[in-house]
Structure 1
Amino acid sequence: MSVTVINYDLGMGRWEPNARGRLEQAALELYGERGYEQTTVAEIAKRAGLTERTFFRHFADKREVLFWGQGALQELLVQAVADAPGSAAPIDAIAAALEAAGARFQERREHSQQRHAIIAANAELRERELIKLASLASALADALRLRGVTDPAASLAAEAGLAVFRIAFDRWISDTGRPDWAHVIRESMDELKTVTAGSSRANTR
């Protein structure tokens, strides 16, 4: 961690109203206008009307502007799995967690669209996104194990849930009709169950 991460600019106050949100919005605008690789931290800070030191108080680097919310999302999903009814099957507990994330996504759909386009255009960011998703799947599997689900069921349910999440997200983000997140998740999960049920019937013949 560099020194600038923990130092404060003594020439300015230590508090700026909604500094994180302003920096995030400035970064998304610049990444969209100029490209992720061509945008510097200095430019992001300037667009937000803040200093570079303020930037580094909120983000480790310009990449993390796109990923800082992952921790909060993971906490939300893990808690939702824990709160699912005890009788819920592992995949249904995961489905309930994915639906619980609906309000978070629905409120920030435009932001999600911007972020999605930026990540899709950059190989480094796509790799980072895959790492984050793998971490999320691991956390969900751990949450299922705490409910008493053993492996391989816990890992399979978590990985299947993340596959549904990725497909549902792509459908939700690309639909111009502003679909409801929970509805898209339920549809995608139902399609998964239909596919797996069909495979099970075929295997028993």
Structure 2
Amino acid sequence: MARWQPGAAQRLVAAAVDLFAEQGYDATTVAQIAERAGVTKSTFFRHFPDKRELLVAGQETLSRLLAEGIAEAPADATPLQAVAAGLERASSAMGPANRELGPRLKAAVAASTELQERDALKSVGLSAAMTAALVARGVPEPTAHLAGELGVLAFKRGYARWCESRGDDAEGLASHALAALEDLRAATASLG
């Protein structure tokens, strides 16, 4: 595959996830990832500073989409309604490739402490983006923080359900994420 073909970053992520799952994170080299993706090592380094950053590929875009959705929610939306708008906006950017990558990514993360740490940092970043967007709407910080954390949990649960659902499932990620958010909202009501 020629190195100037589009989609190098996505191919690198998919190749890395496959290699991490096949042989482990520590045993996987940048050269192997680049070779599997059909690009050069220099192309790898144009997209990522190191192999650890592959897991958080797209985090900035996802954070931006979540925040934009929250910001564009109706003025009278509750904090969780605004989070739902953010989840819908972010979900719209997730397609079949993201869905197909999910189970392999889960296996790779489960097998590596370092990738688990990266995944946790990604969650913190997504929560911070949603919290900041809610605070900008005038939501008090403790409420915004709780809503942001619930948004991250809903996104992760929705993504897992979406990936586990059948490939011909016509429902997109948004419906799964919104259902997960509603489950979490109901669960918080039972806390007393």
Tell me which residue corresponds to 2:140: 150
Correspondences of 1:5-84 after superposition (within 5 Å):
16-18=4-6, 19-84=8-73
Instruction: Tell me which amino acid in the other structure corresponds to 1:45.
Output: A
Runs of 4+ in 1 over 4 A off after TM superposition: none
Q: What is the aligned residue count?
A: 187
In the alignment, structure 1 residue 193 sits paired with structure 2 residue 185: yes
**TM-score, length of structure 1 as denominator length:** 0.81
In the alignment, structure 1 residue 180 sits paired with structure 2 residue 187: no
Larger Rg: 1
Tell me which residue corresponds to 2:100: 110
Over the matched positions of the two proteins, sequence identity in percent amounts to 41
SS in 1 for 2:75: coil
**TM-score, length of structure 2 as denominator length:** 0.86
Deviations 1:115-166 (A, max 9, x none): 2221122111011111111121111111111111112111121112222222
> Gaps spanning 5+ residues in structure 1: where?
1-12, 201-205
C-alpha spacing 1:130/1:43, structure 2 compared with 1 (3 Å): same
Larger displacement relative to structure 2 (164-173 or 146-155)? 164-173
> Gaps spanning 5+ residues in structure 2: where?
none
Following superposition, the deviation at residue 23 of structure 1 comes to 2.4
SS in 2 for 1:105: coil
SS in 1 for 2:141: coil
* 2: CA distance, partners of 1:92 / 1:170: 21
Following superposition, the deviation at residue 88 of structure 1 comes to 0.2
Aligned-residue RMSD, C-alpha: 2.1
